[in-house]
Chains A and B, each alone.
Chain A
Amino acid sequence: MRYSIAALLLLLSGCAFDVIHLHQVPAHFEAAAGSAETWVLGADARIPLERGYATPLRQGTAWYRVGRTEQGDVYRTKDQVVTVQASNVHEAQLVLNGNLAVGFYLPVERTFTAADPPQQILRTPR
């Protein structure tokens, strides 16, 4: 019994709470020049990630282009907070390739985390 308890305590003390990290790759961000392209999200969207999860994107939010990475065009909105998170939380910006959400750009970390799989989103002109 005593050994069982000791083994359990050892097991628990070895548990890592910090076990899930977003899969991120470095991204080269180029800021957009001139007036920003804007559109409105026509339907709620959930963008799944390989690890962790992203804030659901809300229908009716207005988005504008802020730049580009090698993965696609980067958009942000002032109508809702967008984060991606696993054990930690990161502010994020949406990356599109056409109408396909391919992932998120993390402006603080300057990294990209990919959608898995990429999701079609409905864009309507503003």
Chain B
Amino acid sequence: MMSIARAAKTILAGLCLMLLAACASGPKFSEVQEKLAARPADSGRIYVYRTAIIGAAVQPAVKLNGEVIGSAVPQGFFYVDRPAGTYEVSTATEVTRNLSLTLEPGQTRYVRLGISIGFVVGHVYPELVDDTVGSAEIQQCHYVASK
């Protein structure tokens, strides 16, 4: 009969595997940065990334002006190029969280996906961060294709 300690270890190992499986596994930003497609001259680029592993099972779709552009994968990033204009990034779990931002031609914006405690599931929320912060934090994130 399996001892309690052994059962606990097995469960812990299983949880660790589940956590790892839930994280992004593509190449790191620092490895693919030079290979990313060039941005069209009249467009700006929006990077969306999530550093937090907490709440790894919670991976809502990320929408840009209502269109799904990716998922909030822990330690993952993706990007979209869009014409200059005004945009709304949104994520929804129990509640919908929105971020409104402007985009200029040639501009790069960094949107970090944070997570906070919810009633049943965590709340994933988008926040606009400084270029210096975003460009540093995204380095260790793994590429997840946008949709």
Interface positions, chain A 34-85, Cβ under 8 Å from B, are: 80-81, 83, 85
Chain B CB within 8 A of A10 CB: no
Whether B123 and A17, one on each chain, are in contact in the complex, defined by CB atoms closer than 8 angstroms, is: yes
- Tell me whether B74 is interfacial, beta carbon within 8 Å: no
Known A108-B86, A108-B101; judge A17-B95 contact (CB<8 A): yes
In contact, B99 and A89 (Cβ under 8 angstroms): yes
> From B110, which residue of chain A is reached at the shortest CB distance?
A81
- Number of interface residues, chain A, beta carbon within 8 A: 18
B34 within 8 A of A: no
B98 to chain A, nearest CB (A): 4
- Residue contact B86 to A17, C-beta cutoff 8 Å: no
Q: How far is the CA of A66 from the CA of B22 in the complex (A)?
A: 44
Residues of B contacting A: mostly: strand
- A12 at the B interface (CB under 8 A): yes
Chain A residue nearest in CB terms to B99: A89
Residues of B within 8 A of A15 (CB): 119
Report the bound CA distance from A17 to B93 in whole Å: 11
CB distance from B38 to the nearest CB of A (A): 22
Which residues of chain A have C-beta atoms less than 8 A from B123's C-beta? 17
Docked-complex contact A109 and B118, CB < 8 angstroms: no
Q: B119 near A17 (CB under 8 angstroms)?
A: yes
Query: B121: shortest Cβ distance to chain A, in Å?
Result: 11
* Interface residues in chain A, defined as those with a beta carbon under 8 Å from any beta carbon in chain B: 12-13, 15, 17-18, 80-81, 83, 85, 87-91, 106-109
